[in-house]
Amino acid sequence: MAEALDPALPPAVDALAQRVLREACDGGLRLATAESCTGGLLASLLTDIPGMSHAFERGFVVYTNEAKSEMLAVSKAVLDNDGAVSEAAARGMAEGAIARSNADLATSITGFTEGAPGQPAGLVHLACARRGGSTTHRKLELGDVGRAKVRIGALEGALAMLADRLSAAPIADAAAPT
């Protein structure tokens, strides 16, 4: 079994995914994902819940810089100067997913699951863009806890961002800090 799927998804993450989908369905909103280090796990999770998966519009798996640039229009300057794992890249990914979909909200995940020189294990940047509104960002420092735990932590963080954005009033959302 793949490492990230063994053990099974923590119940709290599953409950959060159900809450996000329920709120999206109740609000008539569509969701998109732009994922790097999670490799499509969030998209898979959002399409795996019966009766609510229709809120999921599409997902982008952009593991390489070339994919981030080609599929989501993340600028080469951002990728070269800030890096693929950065606030600027996460924002660019989420905004690119909004621009290239019919979604109302898009979330992005980019991070390092394992450490290397200049790449701290467990560093994850998340962003959530709302069509016609602001883009928010969160930085997670999960530490050197292993590939699977970083990916699950990133899922939980992205779902929490979506939940926050879904519960925000549209007028307050437009004025939200970026």
CATH fold of 6-168 reads Maf protein (3.90.950)
Give the rounded percent of residues in the chain with a pLDDT score beyond 90: 86
- pLDDT tens-digit map of 20-38: 999 999 999 999 999 999 9
Q: Is the dihedral of CA 73, 80, 82, 33 positive or negative?
A: positive
- 30 is written with which tokens? 């569509």
Pairing of strands 56-61, 105-111: unpaired
Q: What is the mean pLDDT of residues 16-20?
A: 95
For residue 105, what are the β-bridge partners?
31, 130
- By three-state DSSP, how is residue 134 classified? coil
Length of the chain counted residue by residue = 178
Q: Facing residues of 107 across strands?
A: 33, 128
User: By percentage, how much of the chain surpasses pLDDT 70?
Assistant: 90
pLDDT in tens, 55-64: 999 999 999 9
Nearest to 90 by CA among 115, 60, 45, 114: 60
Is 85's pLDDT higher than 60?
A: yes
Stated pTM of the model: 0.91
List all residues 6 or more positions away from 102 whose beta carbon is below 8 Å from its beta carbon. Answer: 30, 57, 58
Q: What pLDDT was estimated at residue 1? A: 32
> What are phi and psi for residue 22, nearest 5 degrees?
-60, -45
